[in-house]
């Protein structure tokens, strides 16, 4: 396992919002093929951590590397700033994110949503992108919605479309920011099924989630974040069977699992 | 940039200020009354009334104000004998009244749309509560519907007042010596358009600023129910 | 009635042809002014959204002035001020006498500056209506700023701004009537000429009103069609 290349690396990330320190020196090393579930209460900093991975949030200090390539950052007052815009754009095209509120582009059809970044950011051939998009739509189970607009799809369908959009970028790493939190209970299952399929394919994934059974059954590794500090980090089966921290034990007992 | 000339123009332009304010005031008030009439007619049970209002609004909104002014001032002059027989010629002959009429009708159009929206936004629950108390008809309108609707309409209608000030400048084209009329003459005499523009602009901006403030004050005064509650004395227990 | 029809006939005695040409002139000056306004409005909105304090204050001052001062004064400024500047320029090159700035240019510029101030407000409102999540999704995929603007932000701003912009077009159309004071032979001026020549002001101003109404109505239909098209897919049509 130590020989597998590092897909994503976050080292010593510190982040404050105003007076509140949200991340207090957090480090995660994600190797290729790992499926990491990030758990924690609201306000624990898990979403912020994930968003630092693709620089939607800029840490106050720390280091970020994608596929071994370190992101060039410079000091800007209290926090860090991007010093090489082009590098960030390039790296972002290798790390795809699925959002809690789907964030599909409302003025484009589902198909157009999926091929947008491959065609315009990755500059791939349009026809082959369309072909691939149709395969992805088939894979997530919404092929018939190809020419519909996001507003015509249910929440679960929209999130699956968002996943297809992320996959179309052929990313090395997939980031999921609470992918099922905004869904009705009946819809959660269909999305978790898709994510599970992706995990079984051996993709590198970081999933911030509340779904306990999902974390226990699908993830290869579990990280528990509490008030900006990692309190648990280990193989899923181990961590759930033998929680190291009392807080985590209480956490998994309190939250009732939904869906798959 | 001749500062002395600027100040001189400014003082000369002030001579047009009374007329600007008169035209604004009369046209606005008459227009507001007509707007209320139109707004009420708009939802009247009689179909011809509704059709009339809709056509009127469509025509007034689709044609330039200047054309409307010309129609009344120059156009109606064609019917002088007819108007003389009715005794109305003395009114229609004056650019002053023609301007006020055109401005009032134009303002009534936009005003009626504002009032319609405001009347429509009165919460039905509050009307229902009033009916449940036995209120109806004129009383209902006077005590419940209109007070709520007018408060709702105030910001938009305040804006309408400011637009009216600007609109009065068109009266200068039919020989009225309001601020713009004086400005036009000054430019023609002196060939210093920039200084005159600045001086006249300052006057209009000052009017608008004052009116905006006044409207904001009226709005505040009419809405004690929207302000934060003043903390009352705590009622002692026991 | 036949009398009226004869007035607007396209024959040698009728004013039909002149009025039609004047109507085209109205459309020309209004659309040129409107186009200038689009550019100015876009720049002002951009300045107020993304500019530093100085830029924002400047943009706000411009908007306040243009919206608070009568259109007629702005037209006087551009026409007489413009002519003055041009005359001075030409005189410094040795040309004697008065050179007037073309009324079309002065008029279009005036309309452009005024409508630009209103259009800026529409664009600002449209910008505020944007969905931050969708923009974030674009950033997360490595879209650089220009691509993000071109493919995501601009289309959505256009969609939200369309109704407001339609209103401002109607404004520009009606403002074009004021340009008649510069002597430009647009619709109102032409009707004035015809009215004076035939001593029939009522008929001709009525006809002019009718033509303005037609132009307003047709362009309104066009805008509504555009709005409908831009809204497709935005509203759920499933129960």
Task: Please answer yes or no on whether C175 and B64 come within 8 Å at the CB atom.
Answer: yes
Q: Which residue of A has its CA nearest to C237?
A: A152
pLDDT tens digits for A19-64?
889 999 999 999 999 999 999 888 788 999 999 998 888 999 999 9
Chains that touch A (3 or more CB pairs under 8 A): C
pLDDT tens digits for C34-54?
999 999 999 999 999 888 999
Unique residue bearing structure tokens 């004064």: C73
Instruction: Tell me if A220 sits within 8 A of A35, measured CB to CB.
Output: yes
ipTM for this prediction: 0.88
Q: Which residues of B touch C208 (CB under 8 A)?
A: 67
Residue among B24, B55, B63 with most chain C CBs within 10 A, to mutate: B63
Instruction: Tell me if A90 sits within 8 A of C111, measured CB to CB.
Output: no
Task: Please answer yes or no on whether C188 and B64 come within 8 Å at the CB atom.
Answer: yes
Q: Is B198 on the interface with C (CB under 8 A)?
A: no
CA of C227 vs chain A CAs: smallest distance (Å): 13
Q: What is the pLDDT of residue A215?
A: 87
Q: Which residue of C has its CA nearest to A53?
A: C140
pLDDT band at B174 (very low <50, low <70, confident <90, very high): very high
Q: Which residues of B touch C63 (CB under 8 A)?
A: none
Task: Please answer yes or no on whether B205 and C77 come within 8 Å at the CB atom.
Answer: no
Task: Please answer yes or no on whether B65 and C174 come within 8 Å at the CB atom.
Answer: yes
Q: What is the pLDDT of residue B69?
A: 96
Q: What is the pLDDT of residue B178?
A: 95
Closest CA to A113 of A105, A102, A125, A124: A105
Task: Please answer yes or no on whether A92 and C139 come within 8 Å at the CB atom.
Answer: yes
Q: Is A97 on the interface with C (CB under 8 A)?
A: yes
For residue A181, report the phi and psi dihedrals to the nearest 5 degrees. -65, -25
Averaged pLDDT, B147-159 = 87
User: Over pLDDT 70: what percentage of chain B?
Assistant: 94
Instruction: Tell me if A224 sits within 8 A of A230, measured CB to CB.
Output: yes
Task: Please answer yes or no on whether A105 and C138 come within 8 Å at the CB atom.
Answer: yes
Unique residue bearing structure tokens 């523009």: B197
Q: Which residues of A touch C233 (CB under 8 A)?
A: 106-107, 109, 148-152
Q: Which residue of C has its CA nearest to A103?
A: C134
Q: In the structure, do chain C and chain A come into contact, i.e. share 3 or more CB pairs under 8 Å? A: yes
Q: Over 70: is that where the pLDDT of C27 sits?
A: yes
pLDDT band at A216 (very low <50, low <70, confident <90, very high): confident
pLDDT tens digits for B61-73?
999 999 999 999 9
pLDDT band at A258 (very low <50, low <70, confident <90, very high): very low
Q: What is the pLDDT of residue C238?
A: 36
Paired tokens of C143: 């879209």
Task: Please answer yes or no on whether B173 and C209 come within 8 Å at the CB atom.
Answer: no
Q: Which long-range contacts does C97-105 make (Cβ < 8 Å, 24+ apart)?
A: C103/C79, C103/C179, C103/C182, C103/C183, C103/C184, C104/C25, C104/C28, C104/C29, C104/C32, C104/C184
Protein fold of B19-174: MetI-like fold (1.10.3720)
Q: What is the pLDDT of residue A111?
A: 95
Nearest-Å Rg of the Cα atoms of chain C is 22
Residue among C64, C170, C201 whose CB faces B75 most closely:
C201
Task: Please answer yes or no on whether C151 and A97 come within 8 Å at the CB atom.
Answer: no
C184 CB neighbour count, 10 Å cutoff: 24
Name the pairing type of β-strands A35-40 and A221-226. parallel
Q: Over 60: is that where the pLDDT of C215 sits?
A: yes
Instruction: Tell me if A32 sits within 8 A of A200, measured CB to CB.
Output: no
C230 CB neighbour count, 10 Å cutoff: 18
Q: Name, in order, each residue with C-beta under 8 angstroms of C92's C-beta and a sequence gap of 6 or more.
A: none
Protein fold of C24-186: MetI-like fold (1.10.3720)
Averaged pLDDT, C151-162 = 90
**HEC profile of chain A:** CCCCCEEEEEEEEEEEECCEEEEEEEEEEEECCCEEEEEECCCCCHHHHHHHHCCCCCCCEEEEEECCEECCEEEECCEEEECCHHHHHHHHCCEEEECCCCCCCCCCCHHHHHHHHHHHCCCCCHHHHHHHHHHHHHHHCCHHHCCCCHHHCCHHHHHHHHHHHHHCCCCCEEEEECCCCCCCHHHHHHHHHHHHHHHHCCCEEEEECCCHHHHHHHCCEEEEEECCEEEEEEEHHHHHHCCCCHHHHHHHHHCCCCCC
| pTM: predicted TM-score of the whole model, two decimal places | 0.79
What's the angle, vertex CA A194, arms to CA A190 and CA A197, rounded to 5? 140
How many interchain CB pairs under 8 A, B with C?
A: 116
Q: Over 90: is that where the pLDDT of B214 sits?
A: yes
CA of A252 vs chain C CAs: smallest distance (Å): 30
Delimit the domains of chain C by residue range.
24-186
Q: In the structure, do chain B and chain C come into contact, i.e. share 3 or more CB pairs under 8 Å? A: yes
Instruction: Tell me if C180 sits within 8 A of C188, measured CB to CB.
Output: yes
CA of A239 vs chain C CAs: smallest distance (Å): 31
Cβ under 8 Å to B: C residues 65-124:
65, 68-74, 76-77, 80-81, 84
Averaged pLDDT, A128-147 = 94
CA of A197 vs chain C CAs: smallest distance (Å): 22
Delimit the domains of chain B by residue range.
1-16+177-224, 19-174
Q: Over 60: is that where the pLDDT of A230 sits?
A: yes
């Amino acid at each position: 396992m130590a020989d597998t290349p590092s897909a994503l690396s976050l080292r010593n990330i510190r982040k404050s919002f105003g007076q509140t320190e949200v991340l207090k020196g957090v480090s995660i090393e994600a190797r290729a093929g790992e499926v990491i579930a990030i758990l924690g209460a609201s306000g624990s900093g898990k979403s912020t951590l994930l968003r630092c991975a693709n620089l939607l949030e800029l840490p106050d200090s720390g280091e970020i590397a994608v596929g071994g390539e370190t992101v060039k950052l410079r000091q800007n007052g209290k926090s860090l700033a991007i010093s090489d815009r082009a590098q960030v754009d390039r790296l972002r095209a290798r790390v795809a994110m699925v959002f809690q509120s789907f964030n599909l582009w409302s003025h484009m059809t589902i198909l157009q949503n999926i091929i947008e970044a491959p065609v315009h950011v990755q500059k791939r051939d349009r026809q082959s992108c369309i072909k691939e998009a149709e395969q992805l739509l088939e894979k997530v189970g919404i092929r018939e919605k190809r020419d519909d607009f996001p507003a015509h799809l249910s929440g679960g369908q929209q999130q699956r479309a968002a996943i297809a959009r992320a996959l179309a970028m052929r990313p090395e790493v997939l980031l999921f920011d609470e992918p099922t939190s905004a869904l009705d209970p009946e819809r959660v299952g269909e999305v978790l099924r898709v994510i599970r399929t992706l995990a079984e394919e051996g993709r590198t994934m970081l999933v911030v989630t509340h779904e306990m059974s999902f974390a226990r059954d699908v993830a290869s590794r579990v990280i528990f974040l509490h008030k900006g500090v990692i309190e648990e980090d280990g193989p899923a089966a181990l961590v759930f069977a033998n929680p190291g921290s009392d807080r985590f034990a209480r956490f998994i007992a309190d939250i009732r699992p939904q869906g798959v | 940039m001749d500062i002395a000339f600027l100040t001189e123009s400014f003082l000369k332009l002030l001579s047009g200020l009374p007329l600007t304010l008169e035209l604004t005031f009369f046209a606005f008030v008459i227009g507001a009354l007509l707007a209320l009439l139109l707004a009420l007619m708009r939802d009247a049970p009689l179909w011809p009334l509704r059709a009339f209002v809709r056509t009127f609004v469509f025509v007034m909104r689709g044609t330039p104000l200047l054309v409307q002014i010309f129609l009344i001032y120059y156009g109606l002059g064609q019917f002088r004998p007819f108007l003389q027989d009715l005794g109305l010629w003395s009114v229609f002959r004056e650019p002053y009244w023609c301007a006020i009429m055109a401005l009032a009708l134009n303002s009534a159009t936009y005003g009626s749309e504002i009032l319609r929206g405001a009347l429509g936004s009165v919460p039905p629950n509050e009307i229902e509560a009033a009916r449940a108390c036995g209120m109806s008809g004129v009383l209902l309108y006077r005590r419940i519907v209109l007070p709520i609707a007018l408060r709702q309409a105030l910001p938009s209608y305040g804006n309408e007042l400011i637009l009216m000030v600007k609109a009065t400048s068109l009266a200068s084209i039919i020989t009225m010596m309001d601020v713009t009329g004086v400005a036009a003459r000054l430019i023609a005499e002196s060939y210093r358009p920039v200084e005159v523009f600045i001086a006249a602009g300052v006057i209009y901006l000052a009017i608008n600023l004052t009116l905006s403030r006044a409207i904001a004050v009226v709005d505040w005064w009419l809405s004690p129910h929207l302000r934060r509650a003043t903390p009352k004395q705590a009622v002692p227990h026991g | 009635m036949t009398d009226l029809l004869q007035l607007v006939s396209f024959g040698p005695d009728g004013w039909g042809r002149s009025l039609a040409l004047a109507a085209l002139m109205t459309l020309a000056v209004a659309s040129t002014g409107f186009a200038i306004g689009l550019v100015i409005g876009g720049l002002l909105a951009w300045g107020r959204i993304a500019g530093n304090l100085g830029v924002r204050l400047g943009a706000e001052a411009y908007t306040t002035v243009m919206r608070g001062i009568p259109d007629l004064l702005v037209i006087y400024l551009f026409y007489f001020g413009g002519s003055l500047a041009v005359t001075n320029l030409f005189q410094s090159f040795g040309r004697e006498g008065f050179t007037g700035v073309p009324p079309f240019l002065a008029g279009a510029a005036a309309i452009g500056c005024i409508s630009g101030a209103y259009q800026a407000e529409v664009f600002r409102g449209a910008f505020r209506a944007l969905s931050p999540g969708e923009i974030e999704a674009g950033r997360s995929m490595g879209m650089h700023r220009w691509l993000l603007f071109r493919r995501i932000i601009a289309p959505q701003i256009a969609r939200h701004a369309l109704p407001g912009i339609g209103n401002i077009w109607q404004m520009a159309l009606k403002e074009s009537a004021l340009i008649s004071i510069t002597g430009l032979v647009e619709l109102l001026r032409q009707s004035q000429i015809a009215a004076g020549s035939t001593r029939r002001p009522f008929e001709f101003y009525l006809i002019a009103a009718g033509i303005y109404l037609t132009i307003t109505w047709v362009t309104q239909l066009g805008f509504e069609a555009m709005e409908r098209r831009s809204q497709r897919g935005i509203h759920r049509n499933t129960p």
